[in-house]
Amino acid sequence: MNQIPKIDHTWTLFLDRDGVINQRNFEGYILQWPDFQFTEGLLDAASQIGRLFGNIFVVTNQQCIAKALLTEEELTIIHQQMCFSLAAHGLKIQEVKAAYEKKGAAPFRRKPNTAMALELKAKFPSIDFKKSIMVGDTDSDIQFGKALGMFTILVRSKEKTQLIPDLSIDCLADLPKYLL
């Protein structure tokens, strides 16, 4: 697919966190708010992105919880600060879903499994996966979106990927260029 159809407020945006919203730490995890750095240009583009979609969610794998590097409460604080900062710049995240288990471990909520999206759909029935976009930086993000019939956008990084998304961009801040 070369072009995403016209977006309006009936569309939903699903965002991965690390590498999309914040600079990804390829050597470890973001374990405290001072280590959380928004990706280039995101805060400047936040209001444009926020105006485009009716629903915006974050779906993130955070096995640092299962590895006991961070508590759920500490992760919640990071996510609250992230959402507060984005909202202050015009991008309101309705909810953050995080999968805490290690790769391959139960309860199998980690992307590419679709559990987090299905949980959000149960809570927000207006979500239409055919009118949704998944933005991520890994194959598991793209596989997650494709499994649900979403349009997929890959944020290019040093992460090695093999799956073909519907669109590739350099950073989330570039998203409005392709949708306006």
**What are the structural domains of the chain?**
12-179 (3.40.50.1000)
Which residues are the active-site residues?
Answer: 16, 18
pLDDT tens, position by position, 3-57: 677 899 999 999 999 999 999 999 999 999 999 999 999 999 999 999 999 999 9
Cis before 165 (ω within 30): no
Is residue 112 reached through a cis peptide bond, with omega within 30 degrees of 0 on the bond before it?
yes
* Spatial separation of the C-alpha atoms in residues 62 and 110, rounded to whole Å: 8
Q: Which residues contact 148 (CB under 8 A, 6 or more apart)?
A: 114, 117, 129, 132, 134
pLDDT band at 88 (very low <50, low <70, confident <90, very high): very high
- pLDDT tens for 128-150 read 999 999 999 999 999 999 999 99
